[in-house]
Structure 1
Amino acid sequence: MKIAHFGMPLLALVAVAGSAATASAQIVIKIADSFPAGHYVVENMTKPWMEEVTKQTGGKVKFEYYPAEQLGKAKDMLSLTQSGVADMAYVVPSFVPDKMPLSPVAELPLAEAVGCNGAMAYYHLVNSDSQLRKLDFDANRVRPLLVQNLPPYQVFTAKKISSLKDLQGMKIRVTGSAKAAVIQRIGAVPVQIPTPEVREALSRGTVDGINFVYTSLFPYDLNPLVKTGTADVNFGGWISSYIINDRKWKSLPPDVQQVMSTLAEKYSRQNCEKVMTDDVRDRDRLVQGGMSLLRLTDAEKADFEAKTRDVADQWAADLDKRGKAGSVVLKEYRDQLAKKN
């Protein structure tokens, strides 16, 4: 009886100890973003990446995912990560220009940056010993993982237009200094508005048009509001990334870090390739839905290129005046673009 009486607590103690060991081996990562349910970036990149990280670590890593601004507004994602409210978050540098002023280098209207070459050039820079990495990420105590870019932005208006000249004086929603500079060059007025707030601004007439990509109109239900969209004009791009708190990153075992980094490169590239393909598909969907497509004549294209040719150099010079190493980072990016990415 004594043995039996002693054995039960002993077994219970072993079970508790085993459970504690399992719990301690489990790594939980809280990840947040501002995307609505079903957004293509989440479906193409974020979720598959999380699932494969969990799989390749043998279940050691578990993610708690908070979409649709559940933990905070899009503009607050960087500070939420820095404070540890989220371990990881989707951060748009253009939403925090005072903290990440140099990343919009990847949004400049450079022909060589269109497509995945631009995306992966940025990816390689922020994952190397670059000034861009040091000034926009290391200084903020965060580390970049997944990188997202988009095709060249177009302009979509709430009323029909027949040429770019019709945009003069119009208020156009933009994100970031790079795209704002392009919009100013054609005589329109750039208005900075975070993506989750765009529909309300356009529907209320706060802005006359928006700087967006075809595919992104659908998840934010903007397609019913636009009457005209430009085609094949490079108004600049979009760059963003899922970042991780530096303390959290350093607490991870090396094998987990390796899996997360390797898969981040894989899914950053895959997502880029997918959005580039979908861009053409969704342009056709919008036209079929009644949107008028504005294609520039050769003369209009030449005029646009002449007006925007020096945007990149001016962007860098403006940052230099503020002591922000704009020219250094622009050279880094151009040098990386020249490589095979």
Structure 2
Amino acid sequence: MSRMKKRKMVKWSLLAGVTLLLTACGSGEATNKDSVYELSFNIQVPSTHKFHTEVVEPWAKLVEEETEGKVKVNIYNSGALGTLSTAYEDIQGGVYDIGYVSPSLHPDTELFPLSIGDLPFGISDPFDSTAVLKPFMEKYMAESLEEVIPVGISGTDSYQLYSEDPVETIHDVKNKKIIASGYQRVDLIELWGGVPVSLGLEEIYTSLDRNTVNQATYTSIGAVGLKLYEVSPYLTKIDMGNTALLFLMNKNSFKSLPADLQKLFEDELGPKFETMNSELYSSASENAINEFDKAVSEDGGRVITLSEKDLQSFKEPAKVVWDDWVKLANDKGFDGQEMMDFFTKTLEEEGLTLPY
């Protein structure tokens, strides 16, 4: 599939994200003050993060311009209205109007099927996340979501490994405390012989700075946004896969908007937001790695590229995680093997390969 087609597909994902912005914080409907609809958009990163500066903030300005001031998007940084671990419940309950969720953080909800998108060394590019997960979602989750409107599905850039000491072989992670999000990455780190630690994004920097953890898995764009180069001078380029991002809007919030504004968000503003998000995470990751390298090189830090043999030693345990996903899906009442077959077939159609 061409990159242009992928971008068109990605537009579907962000459509939801834009729609979410229209809801009022904590009300379950868009706040209307003097004919201006105020929408709360909760994001987990600080105002210095590229997701804020290059996606959310310019998009909020675009919303105000395109609606001629009828809609104002209020951005809440650093999880001010709720953490990523409670995002799904918060959006359902109208704590805020628009937000995004990582399905792997909600394995006991109806979002579980989408956690397949976070399987290690599976999907690394957000355009691929849309191309692979949109048909998967339509096939297995078309009628399972309640109180929310899916506005789109995309992803982050790929996760790398950040450390206080160089990581050049799998032996360098043995018995190390490693920050990880999503149960698949947690399981993988245990298979490596490491000790996974689950923390919120807002705790990554502090934990590395205080040496309460030794290493962290995080995206290259996110690492620069959090300035991890200040506390973790080594980046091992491992490309262990990205995090699927499902953009959601509280259903009541969307329905409370006038019909013309709903249509504007669906036809123009939503797709624009999705495109901005996917283009950021697809194109800027290498620049972020270079920026990290430049920031740490003067103090002896560096970006480490593994040999194919050493990289494969990190990849091989992923097969256990993929097999365990099928078993867990079966335990939850799904046909796990059928879902996996559909997923891997779509991966192959998109030109992606399995890690094992």
What is the TM-score when the length of structure 2 is the normalising length?
Answer: 0.77
Q: 1:302 aligns with which of 280, 302, 312?
A: 312
Q: 1:64 aligns with which of 59, 74, 77?
A: 74
Q: Secondary structure at the match of 1:27?
A: strand
**1:118-143 CA deviation, whole Å, 9 max, x = no partner?**
232266348x64323544xx14x212
The answer to whether the 8 Å contact 2:180/2:196 transfers is yes
Q: Larger RCO: Structure 1 or Structure 2 (Cα < 8 Å, ≥ 6 residues apart)?
A: 2
| Number of matched pairs | 314
**1:178-204 CA deviation, whole Å, 9 max, x = no partner?**
222332332222222111111222223
Change (3 A) 1:185 1:42: same
1: CA distance, partners of 2:241 / 2:327: 18
Q: Can you give the 5+ residue segments of structure 2 that lack an aligned partner in the other structure?
A: 1-31, 352-356
Which residue does 1:203 correspond to in 2? 209
1: CA distance, partners of 2:350 / 2:172: 39
Residue 328 of structure 2 is aligned to residue 323 of structure 1: no
In structure 1, give the amino acid aligned to 2:139.
S
Which residue does 1:75 correspond to in 2? 85
Q: Secondary structure at the match of 2:304?
A: strand
Aligned-pair distance for 1:325?
5.6
Which residue does 1:150 correspond to in 2? 156
Change (3 A) 1:210 1:79: same
Which residue does 2:57 correspond to in 1? 47
Change (3 A) 1:114 1:53: same
2: CA distance, partners of 1:59 / 1:339: 44
Change (3 A) 1:316 1:260: farther
Change (3 A) 1:46 1:338: farther
Q: Percent identity?
A: 21
Residue 113 of structure 2 is aligned to residue 102 of structure 1: yes
**1:46-73 CA deviation, whole Å, 9 max, x = no partner?**
2233333333334332223222233233
Aligned-pair distance for 1:214?
1.9
**1:32-89 CA deviation, whole Å, 9 max, x = no partner?**
2222113211222222333333333343322232222332333333333222231222
Which residue does 1:234 correspond to in 2? 239
Change (3 A) 1:193 1:133: farther
- Written as runs of structure 1 = structure 2, the 5 A alignment for 1:15-34 is 25-34=35-44
2: CA distance, partners of 1:243 / 1:281: 29
The answer to whether the 8 Å contact 1:97/1:176 transfers is no
Q: Secondary structure at the match of 1:38?
A: coil
Aligned-pair distance for 1:171?
1.7
Which residue does 2:46 correspond to in 1? 36
The answer to whether the 8 Å contact 2:121/2:240 transfers is no
Change (3 A) 1:158 1:326: farther
Q: Secondary structure at the match of 1:323?
A: coil
The answer to whether the 8 Å contact 2:160/2:239 transfers is yes
The answer to whether the 8 Å contact 1:45/1:268 transfers is no
Q: Secondary structure at the match of 1:285?
A: helix
Change (3 A) 1:48 1:123: farther
In structure 2, give the amino acid aligned to 1:73.
T
Q: Which has the larger radius of gyration?
A: 1
Change (3 A) 1:114 1:69: closer
2: CA distance, partners of 1:58 / 1:337: 42
In structure 2, give the amino acid aligned to 1:206.
T
What is the TM-score when the length of structure 1 is the normalising length?
Answer: 0.80
In structure 2, give the amino acid aligned to 1:183.
I
Which residue does 2:22 correspond to in 1? none
- Written as runs of structure 1 = structure 2, the 5 A alignment for 1:224-263 is 224-231=230-237, 233-262=238-267, 263=269
Which residue does 1:159 correspond to in 2? 165
Q: 1:282 aligns with which of 271, 278, 288?
A: 288
In structure 1, give the amino acid aligned to 2:243.
W
Which residue does 1:184 correspond to in 2? 190
Q: Can you give the 5+ residue segments of structure 1 that lack an aligned partner in the other structure?
A: 1-21
